[in-house]
Structure 1
Amino acid sequence: MSADQQLAVVPPQETALSVYSTPNGLEPWLQTVRAEVDAFNRVLPELTTAKGRQQYASMAHKIAKTKNALDTLGKQISAEQKEIPKKIDAERKRVWDTLEAWQKEVRKPLDDWQATEDKRTAAHTDSIQRIKDMVLFAETPAAAAVAKIIADLELIALDDSWDEFLAKAAQAKDQTLAKLRSLHTERARHEAEQAELVRLRAEAEAQAQRDRDTQIAREAEERATAKAAADAQAERDAAAKREQDLIDQAAARQRESEQAAREAEAAAELQRRQLQLQTEQAQLAAEQAEINRLAAEQRAEQQRIDAIQRQAQAVEQARQDEIRRQNEAKAEEERQAKAREADKAHKAKINRAALDAFIAGGMPDECARQAVTLIAQRKIPAIAITY
């Protein structure tokens, strides 16, 4: 930026960071600009001329250019400062990765040895565990299977290949062999007992079968003997039954004949009794009809008499009611007449008192009478006589 376009030269690059990072570090540059502004204000151009107005615009433009130049330099310095942490982090990472690689390089022989050692000890540990697991079974084993495992276990050699695990391997082998041999003894004894039980059951079943065969033969012979005896008895029973049937048939025919005679006699007797019963029932019906007729006539006569009596009673009741009504009406008329007379006398007494009061007050007799009459007839507004 040329000097004629700005009022102050920006700080040089080598001192710019120090100037911008110092509080009020740009104050000298501001004072330089202020001096130019003050000088301009002391001799102000004429606004009435184009040249004068151009000078105003030129001064403002120079201030703007100076402002932009100082701000641009500050932004540049700030951007450069923001890149510094990134550069620091990149260098840190490079150093870390390098030293990490060197660390692994130095430790690799140890790690390789440790891995080999871990693999070796794990193999021995697994082998010892397999020896211990040889006594474990998913289900109860047969004696032969246990013997096979014992033989396999005895073939496992205990030598220097076990290294420091030789003692543990020997202990595991001895303990497992002891358990397996104990189990083998137990299973062998159990299987022998089971075999003996099977033999005994077989013998018992054979003897039972022989007993059943003997029983079957004996029962067959007994059934044959019984059948022959039963057949003979059946024949005898059949002959006796045939003879008895003939006797029973003759007796039945005799009974049927006697029964028929009895039934005929009973039927005749029943018919005679039915005829007699019908005759008696007809006679009773005639007698009952006569009784019913007489009773009906008596009821009709009684109803007629009752109706006459009720009519006479009704007429008498009506006559008595009329007499009572007339008496009550007459009594009411007399009461009302007496009440009217009493009311008339009462009003006359009140009116007389009012008349006397008017006369006593100086009103002439005729006027007093006229006044009382008008008041009694309610022809005088707002004035009334209370009776």
Structure 2
Amino acid sequence: MQQPKVALIVDWLTVYAGAERVVEQIINIYPECDLFSLVDFLPDNQRGFLQHKLAKTTFIQRLPFSRKKFRAYLPFMPMAIETLNLEGYDIVISSSHAVARGAITLANQLHITYLQARNLKYAYEDRFLYFKLRKLGYLKEYLLHKLRMWDRIACSRPDHTIANSKYVSLWTKKVNRIKSQVIYPPVDVDRLIEMSVENKEEYYITVGRLEPYKRFDLIVDAFNQCGKPLYIVGDGSLLKKLKKAAKKSIVFLGFQSKEKVAELIAAAKALVFSGCEDFGISLVEAQACGTPVIAYGKGGALETVTPLTEKEPTGVLFFDQTVKEILNAVTAFENSKDAFTLEACKRNAKRFSNERFRREFKSFVTEKYQAHCNSLAQNYSVLSTSLYKQGISS
């Protein structure tokens, strides 16, 4: 079989974070692929994971203020993703948490989408976290309604759907009526395990994009009350607001290299996370570093963290997104520190390695592409036979 030509579509490229780690491994599988994105504002010093590829972008890249405010163009994103010219590719892979899976492909192309999250979740249940501008009123609701209508059409465009967790798979089946295969995202556990340390320092840590749905505001309020030292690693739209609310015991470290992040996590008492993560790569990274986690017990955390109630626990789960519950979880962790071991955390994290993801993802794509080619050949054979018979009869 001739080597297929592959196109890889992502929603946007602005920072190296969880979704980008999946993109990195897909590019490692298909290094000759061409890259497409709504916008590409990734800094030069963060492009290594793309093998320094430049994405072919859409008109949103050139709109006013798009570098910092591209999310404001959400109503135009469905149209923008449909403008991508994907002719000439055999396999189209979309890495989607917003509109990437809505790209238009041809009948002879195989389109496989990897759902990085509950797709367009900010147009569904998370809309109350993201859209609080009362002045927009019914216009906001109308635009989100139209976006959900488009998403219902777009979700059926890929030939096959992969979800990054059972949680996302169940969600997309309920919301979009689409079945999906679960392939957990990759985590660089081998590198992180080597960085684990037995002796922990006294600070807690939280890592991620400082965006509304991750509920960093709850963590800040909780640690303001308990006064325990907390490091916050990451950047995002809530940075200024969180800094203003935080007391002196909370330190904001901004964006850090993956090496520095691993060092900070490895030395921390525990990683704290209060968002409903669709998978939660940072939770697995912490465990690979030998660091237990304190996390909201919903979504991917239920699939990646062994709770205190089970044998060889790797973290404490709380089940209400409140400051009180976070404080109770921190207390439970402090009272049970001896129950968590370095080896248990690392052993649990090994289930989510880069090598495992590459093997499962490549196997899935290869299998589906072979079936796709066989189907095309069969259809061509039937069509040729039909045309031949028509020619004889005439």
TM-score when normalising by structure 1: 0.18
Larger gyration radius, structure 1 or structure 2: 1
Structure with bigger strand share is: 2
More RCO (CA 8 Å, sep 6+) = 2
TM-score w.r.t. the length of structure 2 is 0.18
